[in-house]
Chain A
């Protein structure tokens, strides 16, 4: 019997090639998209899942009630971790981590590498498998390091390097370290990323900071005892906080901060390791949001939905052609179930074919997909049991629903009616219309999303940030030389070049450079009886002029000798609350007062999702510069860049030059937005394409069903236009309804998304109008070709065939 079903299914599919083709193509594309997007989302959701202890490891976050509202911070002071371990019950292991870049020296080689400075327990807490060497306690000695396979190859050119010694630049000094173990490469879905792991105690800050509760510079991870929960731990850490942060709490009280609902000013919160990748600390709370992977899943499901709607609609529409068969089979003794299985097996056929093509397509486009959307998914994920089972279940459920619904409708038709070829069609038309409204609603939603996203990205790219981003090259000072000397040497080296305007440096980059490093530092100090917080930037004296910042009051730094004062931005001036900020004296070091030389106009030194915060520029040779900045003239920019590079090569022959223009760096900071926009854009193109395929197939069927009507109307004297209008208007009406439904949803969703940005575009009505018009035009073109042809056909012919 089943063989018979298959045979008939096959013949039916072959007979109606256009329809089957459209269905298979649509479903295959949809399946391929679902597989790729599904993998991307799964990859995101699997962050840090590979650690065996993932469920008992937490990142420690400190929340503070400041006079300006709550603040959350993930950087902690060095004494916190040992004290927590000793004084608060429930801690199994604890590790401090500083992720950093470093210069590693081996023989003549100088290599910039990613390093993590951690406590001994690190490798017992986290599952970074040791391949070779001391796997019990790889960081036993202060000068032991663990190197990953990649790191070893980069530095030594081999992985057989246990016991070898090399130097790291710590505080400008070459310090020897010995490789005690080789670790496997870090998985892409790991938040902690490093090539070298060294002891926390060897970090250059440690000796100054080990007793200082007010210097915060590293993250803390705890692993709790079995049976200990995060909330119990948070509760039992309260007396500990009250003890160690007494001074801070008193200061907050004095400055007028309001306590939280529990009457507390400072709390420790634990963020589960699984959530760390998705956690934001923006408004002083820990917010865990997995919206991005879910958005990707959502897009995948919507596209699948559209393809399924096509299938359902076409199957139902095709019922009309098969009424006779249904009736005949029933008179020959077919029961409902048997008919159901017959029609369902046809669907199964189409779905199995489509899923096979879909899997092949996704494998073919995997690499393009990865590079286009910057995701790290691998084909291994495609073969993982979870994914396969999930896929199989999805296909099964979809085949049941999507194939089952039309099959159910068909098998329930009355025998006599179907034999007579009569179809009570109003019911299924309603279903069809609702489904098509959904389909176009989704397409419109995605088009609006794409337009708004591009709008916002365009806005961010072109916004005047308050500094000169086009003409400034930035590069990490990753060489062996002292960074201050290096800036001076570069300035001398480039001084003869008329296209080089100025050279400077600071301890933080603008945007994201080629090295991918980002950092910021801040300080708080007493000013007239209260705490003032400010961002803090160590600069070379030409920094302000190099970036083209506007000095609105006072003066800029004038020479290297100007290191006894500071320059602040307008936000900082406001924070100080002085009529004339130039008279302020800031007590940045205990007992040392720094006058304010000048005030610069506010500029966006962080991403555009944040308001401009107070900023203080400071010149000090004690603290290293980490990035160089060179301003070039607008002419011959490529030559100027080459000149900078060759000057660099001359001064630091062994270090890599990673320069880039600051506007490129800024572009890199909204890589994620761009990827999301690309994803939604591709999603909406596919959604529109699939919807149109469905629409096209429907118009084919409708036209063929209404051939007689068209013929009669023409004989009676209807014009081509009026017939086209009659055939088209029903569909266009659906698109309009879809627009009316989708617009408010799109408006709400986009407004929510724009809330993330401090600087954002207005949600103008034109985004929606454009999306609606686009959908309407595309729909019209799709149906139009068919309907016009039908309307122009010779009526005698169409009537004769009836």
Chain B
């Protein structure tokens, strides 16, 4: 099993009352799954994704990731954990505008303290695989949205993660670009065995997944 959420609660205090963002979430994810999280705005999709990605904390419950209990870990170990095993893809790509495509890809490797020669090899590999070798010296603003997201996915993949978390990865893309990205995800899931959890609004995109989780007001339905 890759990860397990047990009775996860998350809330904020508002005017003396608890407003629940997540309510009693239980979830088990096996390696190689492709899960889509759906639900209306404000239902807690992104919050759930962030909790899984260890970017956000929760108030109650237990979270096990590869037999480590995340809720007891210190921040430093947590960041080591997600640095090692998790890659993120965002709706608005979140590429660093000051860095070239190549440097954006290299950045996660820097934080993993990988040697220079190995970094070069991995980046070259990834550029090759995504067919963006010719764009390696361009800055993100010089690329189309679809290409930017392609770089975003490549960046998420470069650390060889077991899990990719995608927060509405196609939200800013047109339908053709969307399809390309979703096909890519599918291929990664099937051929490389990467586990993927995506948040999406679109029924069509959700169909790519092997399992759909529906949320409403922070609760699984």
Contacts and interface: CB of A to CB of B under 8 A. Distances in A.
A332 B55 contact: no
Contacts of A325: 96, 98
B56 A332 contact: no
A333 B112 contact: yes
Given A331-B55, A335-B79, A15 B107 contact: no
B110 interface: yes
B76 A1 contact: no
A328 interface: yes
Given A331-B55, A335-B76, A419 B94 contact: yes
A1 B113 contact: yes
B82 interface: yes
Interface string B168-200: 000000000000000000000000000000000
B9 interface: no
B113 A332 contact: no
Interface string A312-354: 0000000000001101111111110010000000000000000
Contact of A332 (B50, B76, B80, B83): B83
B32 interface: no
Contacts of B159: 333
A327 B94 contact: yes
B132 interface: no
Given A1-B110, A4-B110, A338-B111, A331 B98 contact: no
B3 interface: no
Contact of A329 (B53, B56, B107): B107
Nearest to A8: B98
B94 A324 contact: yes
Contacts of B50: 416
B98 A328 contact: no
A4 B98 CA distance: 12
The listed residue with most B CB atoms (<10 A of its CB), out of A11, A324, A329, A332, is: A332
Interface string B74-98: 0010011011000010100011101
Contact of A333 (B56, B82, B95, B98): B82
B53 A332 contact: no
Contacts of B88: 331-332
A587 B94 CA distance: 100
B108 A416 contact: no
B148 to A, nearest CB: 13
Contacts of A328: 94-96
A416 B96 contact: no
B133 interface: no
A415 interface: yes
A331 B95 CA distance: 12
A374 interface: no
A12 B94 contact: no
Interface in B105-156: 107-108, 110-113, 155
B8 interface: no
Contacts of B95: 328
A419 B47 CA distance: 13
Nearest to A332: B108
A327 B112 CA distance: 17
Contacts of A331: 53, 55, 88, 94
B25 interface: no
Interface string A1-35: 10010001001100100000000000000000000
Interface residues of A, number: 21
A11 B98 contact: yes
B111 A416 contact: no
B3 to A, nearest CB: 17
Contacts of A338: 111
B212 interface: no
A3 to B, nearest CB: 9
Contacts of B216: none
Given A8-B98, A8-B99, A415 B111 contact: no
Nearest to B93: A328
Nearest to B156: A332
Contacts of A8: 98-99
A79 to B, nearest CB: 81
Contacts of B110: 1, 4
Given A1-B113, A324-B94, A327-B94, A416 B82 contact: no
B76 A416 contact: no
B55 A333 contact: no
Contacts of A330: 55, 79
Contacts of A327: 94
The listed residue with most A CB atoms (<10 A of its CB), out of B79, B82, B95, B159, is: B79
A325 B99 CA distance: 11
Contacts of A332: 83, 88, 107-108, 111, 155
B50 to A, nearest CB: 6
Interface in B35-84: 50, 53, 55-56, 76, 79-80, 82-83
Nearest to A12: B98
A416 B55 contact: yes
A332 B103 CA distance: 13
Contacts of A1: 110, 113
Interface string A543-574: 00000000000000000000000000000000
A333 B83 contact: yes
Given A1-B110, A415-B55, A333 B94 contact: no
Interface in A400-419: 415-416, 419
Nearest to A335: B79
A333 B106 CA distance: 13
B55 A334 contact: no
Contacts of B96: 325, 328-329
Nearest to A4: B110
Interface string A75-107: 000000000000000000000000000000000
A740 B20 CA distance: 49
Given A332-B108, A335-B79, A416 B56 contact: yes
B51 to A, nearest CB: 10
A333 B99 contact: no
Contacts of B90: 419
Nearest to A14: B98
Contacts of B112: 333
A324 B83 CA distance: 18
A4 B119 CA distance: 13
A332 B108 CA distance: 5
Nearest to B155: A332
A1 B155 CA distance: 18
A334 B56 CA distance: 15
B105 to A, nearest CB: 11
Contacts of B82: 333
Nearest to B47: A416
A452 to B, nearest CB: 50
Contacts of A11: 98-99
A7 B121 CA distance: 20
A405 B82 CA distance: 28
Interface string A414-428: 011001000000000
The listed residue with most A CB atoms (<10 A of its CB), out of B76, B88, B94, B113, is: B94
A329 B98 CA distance: 13
The listed residue with most A CB atoms (<10 A of its CB), out of B82, B88, B110, B159, is: B110
Nearest to B76: A335
B93 to A, nearest CB: 10
Interface string A648-677: 000000000000000000000000000000
Contacts of A333: 79-80, 82-83, 108, 111-112, 159
The 5 A-B residue pairs with the shortest CB-CB distance in the complex, in nearest-first order: A333-B83, A333-B111, A332-B108, A328-B94, A11-B98
Given A331-B53, A331-B88, A332-B107, 10 more contacts: A1-B110, A331-B55, A331-B94, A332-B88, A333-B83, A333-B111, A333-B112, A338-B111, A419-B90, A419-B94
19 contacts: A1-B110, A1-B113, A15-B98, A325-B96, A328-B96, A331-B53, A331-B55, A331-B88, A332-B83, A332-B107, A332-B155, A333-B79, A333-B83, A333-B159, A334-B111, A335-B79, A335-B111, A416-B50, A416-B56
